[in-house]
Structure 1
Amino acid sequence: MDMNGTHECDVLVIGAGPAGASTALNLLNHTDLSVILIEQSDLQKLRIGESVSASVFSVLDYLQIDRADFGLHCFTPTQGNSAFWGSDKSANRHAIFAPDRATYQINREIFDLTLLESTIQRGGTVFPRTKSKAITQLQDGRYSVGGSHPDYGQFTIICEYLVDASGRNSPIGKSLGAAVQQYDRLTGVGAFFKAKQGALEQLQLIESDEFGWWYSAALSNDMLVVTYFSDFELLSKQRLNRLAQWQVHLDSSKYMSRRVEAAKMMDENLWIRPAGSHFSSFAHLKNYLPVGDAACAFDPISSMGLGFAMTSGCQAAAIIGNTKTSQAFMHSSKVYQQDLARQFDHYLALKQQFYNKEKRWCDAPFWFKRQQLINQVA
């Protein structure tokens, strides 16, 4: 892999997850533009699975990827969605955001790698284990992005368009002048479990308590992810970011504790990831577009993350592919941001309705905050 010196391309995508890969694939399918993706991970990390509706297959059709390309173990139909939320009686959760739809648990490792393999096959370039460094805009409007690879050292990429697909923690938009409105500091603390024997039930389970809520889903026949979501400050105060206290809290849960009885924790190191809602205002920036969580991020309770990541990537690619002038790009970017604002406002209303269903701890800080009226974006 030759990564030394300076590389030039039409479009640089920072972040090779579903949002970045969808952007690249749409560009490669419908334009002659050259595309480079850089990804700071080595693409080998165990990923948290995600629940999606059957609508994901329509997006894959649009990207010209056959479902069969993902193999037999990427999409696992869920057998049920149980939520102990608002009472001790189980409710079917899928009716909240996606009524009457079949849902699937995705193996993110297979899914993400398949998208990237398709990107490479269609002429895209992918640089894994590469961190983006200083980003500057040149006098001619192009971007100069410094890259750093542990084996190949420092290099530079010059691009006409910059697509930010680097996720929730992305500093890129802010460094260029985008304004990010943060709505909460929801954080997930979780672990992976392996079944001691037999196959796990393909069930998504949610259970709320005074400080937040538990989520679990089978990632395969014998692997389970268990996550506790609460505000970052509450997690720290209750020491739920520490394994011992997290385990005590799990053991005290009524239903989640039963689910892990026949499973063993795979690693004693908890993972901690931001899961809050935010919205980015970026339309004043030239030749820059955020996609996925870098554009706006959703509470995991909505199950909107992956589908939105892919469709926003397709939208960004269409803007770049159809742009003839700088003025046309700025107009399309503004329309794109307005469309995101409408989607985000709709999401905020639905999220509040769902959190309002829990009346047992209305005065508890976590629930009180989420049941107040929210200022919308638009």
Structure 2
Amino acid sequence: MADARIAVLGAGPAGAAVAIGLARLGYEVCVISEWRRFAAVEGVSQRVLEGLRHAGLTRALASAAPPSPRRVQWNGDGQSANQECLLDRPSFDAALREDLRAAGVELVEARVRSVGSDAAGHLLHLDPGETRRADFLVEARGRQAPLAAGRLRGPETLSLLNQWREAPGAPASAVQSLPDGWAWMARLADGRCYWQITLDVASAGLPAKERLPAWCAERRRQSALVSELFGATALQPAELHARSSTAILFQEASGANWLRVGDAAMAVDPLSGNGIFQSLSSALQAPAVINTLLRHPERAQLARRFHQSRVEQLFLRFARTGRDFYALEQRWADQPFWRKRSAWPDAEPLHAAADFGQVRVERLPVIRDGLIDEADVVVSADQPLGIWHLQGIELAPLVRALQGGAGLEEVLRGMAPEHRRMLRGWLAAQGYP
């Protein structure tokens, strides 16, 4: 079924990465998306830029600003050595569309009014009245995607985004912890300014909607960091957009003819600063999953298990990263915002202690030649999904040999020096004596 018509709903980084990956596999792909309804800016790390490059989103990558200073004030401590690259989302979203067109992917600018699905396919109803049919559907509309049963939610969280314009100047950003939440702020070179406060829904005690801009302005007046980063305009009420930033994991992220990716599969707390990275992480594996579901339906269970397990593990990793960062703020540890988030999602460590005695070999799903297949992989407490190979060298035979009593020099004999060094380092990281 290599000629299947695939519809991707959403032209963000996840939807674009999936669509380009599927086009490379020879599928006919249509991306359906409306434009973002509000302007925004995001701070991203170098690994996000590497993810964009790996996904073939070269124009989106080029839209990122050069690294700029990032101030951090957390638990009473201040740091200014950090950097991040600021992404102007309107420019970034436009560049993603350019990447899609350059890859030969059809792009439809429309709002999806409803979707009718059954085993035979999907009927998409678009505004202002057009209909489209698809054999396979990729849900990539982020947090705007329709909710479904079977989802894990973190503490209910709300973010209030304010924006205004000042005179052009040097770009910069900052993050600041507050008694009832935290604020992220950024100034672009052209003078556009953004300030977002993230709060606990149950305990925020917010005023009526019409009073929110003034309430946010008062919060900015209380911040010395705001005064350092912005001018006097920052102390006045500004344009405001409210959005949910609750962490959500969908516990069924696929079906026989559909798949959720990016924030539509799992949406992480914005504190992690890895929203685009996690979107790309789940999207980059999706073409192989979809290719398997369409070409090898006998492997459907394997492909869906591969996708779900990686979505869940990625979600837990980011959730635990956020939990540990929240726990660093001790000044208001007894306040509802901090108390809830410093203990969620669980008490499991972000990284398990290395113990070679617990390392084992299992047969698990992997990506091989654009399809989901099975292989012997090495599983550890810190890598529950397993590691298949390092730079082309399969690890399962090496671990089996060592666990069977072979010496390390015997196992590594005949390998190139750079491979020997790499494998020694990897084994040491697993607790090998």
Structure 2 length as normaliser, TM-score?
Answer: 0.73
Name the structure 2 match of 1:362. Answer: 333
Q: Could you tell me how far 1:136 is from its partner in structure 2?
A: 1.9
**Could you say if the C-alpha distance between residues 84 and 268 of structure 1 is closer, same or farther in structure 2, counting changes exceeding 3 Å?**
closer
Q: Could you tell me how far 1:193 is from its partner in structure 2?
A: 2.0
Equivalent-residue separation in structure 1 for 2:316 and 2:328 (angstroms): 19
C-alpha contact 2:5 2:29 (8 A) present in aligned 1: yes
Name the structure 1 match of 2:6. Answer: 11
Equivalent-residue separation in structure 2 for 1:265 and 1:17 (angstroms): 32
C-alpha contact 1:10 1:160 (8 A) present in aligned 2: yes
2:20 corresponds to 1:20: no
Please state whether the residue corresponding to 2:246 is helix, strand or coil: coil
2:148 corresponds to 1:167: no
Match of 2:304 among 333, 340, 350: 333
Please state whether the residue corresponding to 1:207 is helix, strand or coil: strand
Deviations 1:284-313 (A, max 9, x none): 622221111111111111111112212322
> What are the ranges of 5 or more consecutive residues in structure 1 without an aligned counterpart?
1-7, 95-101
2:5 corresponds to 1:34: no
**Could you say if the C-alpha distance between residues 301 and 325 of structure 1 is closer, same or farther in structure 2, counting changes exceeding 3 Å?**
same
Equivalent-residue separation in structure 1 for 2:95 and 2:214 (angstroms): 37
1:29-178 correspondence to structure 2 within 5 Å: 29=24, 31-39=25-33, 41-42=34-35, 45-66=37-58, 69=59, 74-87=63-76, 89-92=77-80, 103-137=84-118, 141-150=119-128, 153-155=129-131, 157-171=132-146, 174=148, 178=149
C-alpha contact 2:49 2:61 (8 A) present in aligned 1: no
C-alpha contact 1:181 1:280 (8 A) present in aligned 2: yes
2:194 corresponds to 1:225: yes
**Could you say if the C-alpha distance between residues 142 and 217 of structure 1 is closer, same or farther in structure 2, counting changes exceeding 3 Å?**
farther
C-alpha contact 2:206 2:212 (8 A) present in aligned 1: no
2:225 corresponds to 1:255: yes
Equivalent-residue separation in structure 1 for 2:190 and 2:284 (angstroms): 32
Please state whether the residue corresponding to 1:110 is helix, strand or coil: helix
Deviations 1:186-215 (A, max 9, x none): 1110211211x341x322211111111111
**Could you say if the C-alpha distance between residues 122 and 75 of structure 1 is closer, same or farther in structure 2, counting changes exceeding 3 Å?**
closer
Equivalent-residue separation in structure 1 for 2:283 and 2:194 (angstroms): 27
Match of 1:304 among 274, 286, 291: 274
Deviations 1:93-148 (A, max 9, x none): 85xxxxxxx631112222222222221233222121322403221xxx23223322
Name the structure 2 match of 1:244. Answer: 214
Q: Could you tell me how far 1:236 is from its partner in structure 2?
A: 4.7
Please state whether the residue corresponding to 2:255 is helix, strand or coil: coil
2:209 corresponds to 1:214: no
**Could you say if the C-alpha distance between residues 186 and 119 of structure 1 is closer, same or farther in structure 2, counting changes exceeding 3 Å?**
same
Which sits farther off after the overlay, 356-365 or 50-59?
A: 50-59
Please state whether the residue corresponding to 1:360 is helix, strand or coil: coil
C-alpha contact 2:14 2:140 (8 A) present in aligned 1: yes
Please state whether the residue corresponding to 2:144 is helix, strand or coil: coil
Equivalent-residue separation in structure 1 for 2:236 and 2:98 (angstroms): 29
Please state whether the residue corresponding to 1:340 is helix, strand or coil: helix
Q: Which amino acid aligns with 2:39?
A: R
Equivalent-residue separation in structure 2 for 1:63 and 1:346 (angstroms): 22
Equivalent-residue separation in structure 1 for 2:100 and 2:57 (angstroms): 10
Equivalent-residue separation in structure 2 for 1:146 and 1:71 (angstroms): 31
C-alpha contact 1:194 1:265 (8 A) present in aligned 2: no
Computed over aligned residues only, the root mean square deviation of the Cα atoms, in angstroms, reads 2.7
Equivalent-residue separation in structure 1 for 2:176 and 2:44 (angstroms): 19
C-alpha contact 1:9 1:158 (8 A) present in aligned 2: no
Equivalent-residue separation in structure 1 for 2:205 and 2:116 (angstroms): 34
1:261-340 correspondence to structure 2 within 5 Å: 261-263=231-233, 268-282=238-252, 285-323=255-293, 324-340=295-311
Name the structure 2 match of 1:98. Answer: none
Please state whether the residue corresponding to 1:47 is helix, strand or coil: coil
Which structure has more relative contact order (CA 8 Å, sep 6+)? It is: 1
Deviations 1:315-342 (A, max 9, x none): 1122112442223233112111111222
- Structure showing greater Rg: 2
Equivalent-residue separation in structure 1 for 2:343 and 2:54 (angstroms): 39
Q: Which amino acid aligns with 2:66?
A: P
> What are the ranges of 5 or more consecutive residues in structure 2 without an aligned counterpart?
349-383, 385-433
Structure 1 length as normaliser, TM-score?
Answer: 0.82
